[in-house]
Amino acid sequence: MISDNMKIIDGINHSQNLIESVKELILKSERLNKRKPSIAVILIGENSASEIYVKNKIKTAENIGIISKKILYNSAITEKELLNKIKELNQQKDIDGILVQLPLPMHISEDKVILSIDPKKDVDGFHPINLGNLFLGNNNGMIPCTPLGCIYMLKKELGPLNGLNATIVGRSNIVGKPLQSLLLKENCTTTITHSKTRNLSEFTLKADILIAAIGMTEFIDNSYVKDKATVIDVGINRKKINDKIKILGDVNFNDVINKVNLITPVPGGVGPMTIACLMYNTVKASFLRNNHEFKEIIFDE
């Protein structure tokens, strides 16, 4: 009998392996550009989850040799002030990547902020130009970090994905839609579903690869999962259990573990890969915006 541990996709281990490859790219970038790659991270207001995310991103960057610039604003900053700051960062030659931590205060338009970032510095991969390139099958732009991390793990665990049925539960611009484009490029047959899909299990039970990104705590149980499926759980949900905050995914891990072939845990699955891919995008930006050739490593077989 296969043990549960053998079924777990270790996102921490995969992220460390990718980071090792990124370190080599950093050294090459430094030789070509005569400086280290750099990222500016903007954090607005006091959101404990966002503060943790930014802290982890900055720490990882500094540990591997990426220069990080942390820019803090209180929630009273105006939209105009923020857009002016982004314009300033766009023009700074020594800044390769710009990341504005989401969510934003209600009075600031997320769409305007995303549009204001130079697509070549958009290391989150959310700008319409980058998403458009991805939709057209062009990997030369910035690709959203979480979908990129999912593809990296899937390819490392399963090898070529040709012909596999992949179902995504969730249609966000950040995860669901970009993942569909990436899976299509890998020759998967893809289905994208969401909270309004009728008879959802009819679609998920056909999936060799099931990706849960619906933002509903432990929504996916074993009635949605095909035998021997590979499950990627993108969900990060906070739930208070016995006076402690616990991080749970969109998949009921304990309910599906005996049915699946492979599964990412929460935490320790997709999360570490997202940060590793942010580092990858930052270094990629340092190559492309300085007109240096960049060889993709994420999509190597």
Q: Which residues are the active-site residues?
A: 57, 101, 124
CB 22 within 8 A of CB 276: yes
| Closest to 274 in 3D by CA, of 143, 131, 173 | 143
Distance of CA 82 to the CA centre of its chain: 24
Given a contact cutoff of 8 angstroms between Cβ atoms, the answer to whether 179 and 150 are in contact is yes
Main-chain dihedrals φ then ψ at residue 144, nearest 5 degrees: -50, 135
In the chain, the amino acid numbered 171 is: R
What residues have CB less than 8 Å from 216, skipping those under 6 apart? 195, 235, 237, 250
State CA 149 to chain mean position distance.
Answer: 6
Give yes or no for a contact between 79 and 107, defined as CB atoms under 8 angstroms apart.
yes
